Amino acid sequence: MDFYSLLSKDAEDSLLTVSEYKEGILRLVFRADALGGEEHTITIRQPVHLDMPPKLMLGSVLFGDASLLPSGYAEARNQGYGGDEDTWRVLKAVDDEANEFYAIYFGREILE
C-alpha cells in the first residue's frame, strides 16, 4: 500500500506531530495506530505557512493544491510569505473533532 492510500484509509485516530519546523524544512511524523503504531515521516522542503498545532489526533489527511484551502484563507493570512498561490501545495489535516489545519508549501512532499 502506498503512503497516500495509507493516509486516506488509516489516518483516523492516528497522531500527527510536527517534529521539525525551521526555515527551509518541515517534518511531520504520522503514527498509524491502525497499523500497530507504525511511524512515517512527511518531509516538506519549501514550507510557506504552517497552521497546525504541534500534535493532533487525526480524522483525515488530504494532499492537493490551494483549492483545499477555505474561501478567503489565503487573503486573510497572506503577509508576504507565499509567492504565487497557484503553485502552492497543501496538506489539509482534519482532527477528530472536525477542525481543519493546513501546511502550505512549494514542491512535492517526501513520504517515508
Model confidence pLDDT, tens digit, residues 9-67: 667 778 899 999 988 899 999 887 777 778 889 999 999 889 999 999 988 888 999 89
Give the whole-angstrom CA distance, residue 107 versus residue 25.
Answer: 12
DSSP code string of 48-65: EEEE--SEEEEEEEEEES
| Distance from C-alpha of 62 to C-alpha of 22, rounded to nearest angstrom | 23
- 1 or 20: which leads in pLDDT: 20
Residue 72 has a CB neighbour count (10 Å cut-off) of 8
pLDDT of res. 10 = 66
Higher pLDDT, 111 or 74: 111
Instruction: Please tell me the least confidently modeled range out of 4-8, 26-30, 66-70.
Output: 4-8
Q: Where do we find the cell 489545519? A: 101
pLDDT of residue 80: 58
